[in-house]
Structure 1
Amino acid sequence: MRGPTGKALRTWAVTTVVVTLLGVLAGLLWSKIVPTVEYVVIQGKPLLADPEGQGPVGMDGRFALIVVLAGIGCGGLAYLAGGRDNDLALVLGLAAGGLAAGFLAWKVGHQIGLADYEHAVRTAKEGASVDGVAQLRATGIVTFWPILAVGTYGVLELFVRRLPAGDRGEPGTGEPDEVGRGQLDLQATAPGGDVDRREP
């Protein structure tokens, strides 16, 4: 497929895939930084050893921190890497990829050490303690990633002037922006003549 539509689809697909894959890294990071939560095995079932403890809240909080930073980072990088012709495709890619990444981060982080945890619960004696794995109780947090990615992109689009493709921010000879601001463009004058091209 060629033309603008084909380019937009490629941009959407690449953005979605790249952002989604970041969810794996986010999940691995989450599993490494979650606080340790201890469970007591009662009648073969794991129960929180300290129901009033901050461990479960800390798990949710650290997951939220990761997806918030990831969402803002993805939105900012997509804005810097994109062009004006790619806005819609990038936004759709950030939304789809961000949602998939948030879900993937949750599942990947939860799976790390899960087999060992389940084995420990099955083989534990009555009243024995086991350390849990990363668990997300407030599952709605996964939506923070796409919301903040799209929101960051939108805010930058509204308040930051993006240079056109190929423009490095250095106005060329006789550009309209120079004339409109009342600036004198000496480069526009032919060598050895004035602006009316009359010899001195």
Structure 2
Amino acid sequence: MTREVRAFAVTVLTLATLGLGAGLLWSGVSPRAPYQVTEQGLVLADPSTQALIAADGWFAMITGGMGLLCGGVAWFAGRRWMPGVLLGLCAGGLVAAALTYWIGSTFTIGAVAVEAAAAPGVKIVPGALKLTADGVLLSWPLLAVGLFGLLEGMHGYRESPLRQPYGEPL
């Protein structure tokens, strides 16, 4: 039991650390939506911008790829402590996705180019990254646990007596 708790804690902490790096990567590659500075505050300068959707896409690509990577590595490295590692993938994936979102929306990394048609004298500024589709927050834990389960299912079937139809040896 102690080893499974340790495997859970190590998995969650490892994924949380990876979430910090993924947040910086998301901040560096995602485009920023253009906002116009007005007396009421910031207003979206171009309502037809694709930058908001692109930020969601980049988030899903980065966290989904990290989920697949973590699920594969966890299956190969931690099969002896399967319950702890599997729960760690789920909880750690949620923590990592939340940290990715927080880091990416808080810090601006890389060059920020904003393009929008504005009237003369209107100031256009890049907006902070945010998600418009909250479901992409689940891509990291969902793909990590899904790949882990798929690999375990394939491995379990290979050793299963169900592969031998009618009790015949292979």
TM-score, with length taken from structure 2: 0.81
Give 2:155's aligned amino acid: V
Give 2:87's aligned amino acid: L
Gaps in structure 1 of 5+ consecutive residues: 115-125, 164-179, 182-200
RMSD over aligned CA atoms reads: 2.0
Distance 1:46 1:88 in 2: 47
Gaps in structure 2 of 5+ consecutive residues: 110-120, 159-168
Cα shift at 1:162: 10
Q: Please name the residue that 2:14 is paired with.
A: 18
The answer to whether the 8 Å contact 2:33/2:51 transfers is yes
The partner residue of 2:37 within 37, 41, 50 is 41
Counterpart of 1:135 in 2: which secondary structure?
Answer: coil
Cα shift at 1:127: 3.1
Q: Please name the residue that 1:135 is paired with.
A: 130
TM-score, with length taken from structure 1: 0.69
RCO comparison, higher one (Cα < 8 Å, 6+):
2
Q: Please name the residue that 2:65 is paired with.
A: 69
Counterpart of 1:46 in 2: which secondary structure?
Answer: strand
The partner residue of 1:95 within 86, 90, 94 is 90
Q: Please name the residue that 1:168 is paired with.
A: none
Q: Please name the residue that 1:30 is paired with.
A: 26
Distance 1:60 1:138 in 2: 7
Higher helix share: 2
Q: For residues 30-179 of structure 1, what are the structure 2 equivalents within 5 Å?
A: 30-83=26-79, 85-113=80-108, 127-160=122-155
Q: Deviations over 1:104-161 (max 9, x none)?
A: 00000000139xxxxxxxxxxx831111222212222111111111111000001136
- Please identify the structure whose Cα radius of gyration is greater: 1
Q: Runs of 4 or more off by more than 4 Å in structure 1?
A: none
Q: Sequence identity, in percent?
A: 38
Cα shift at 1:80: 0.9
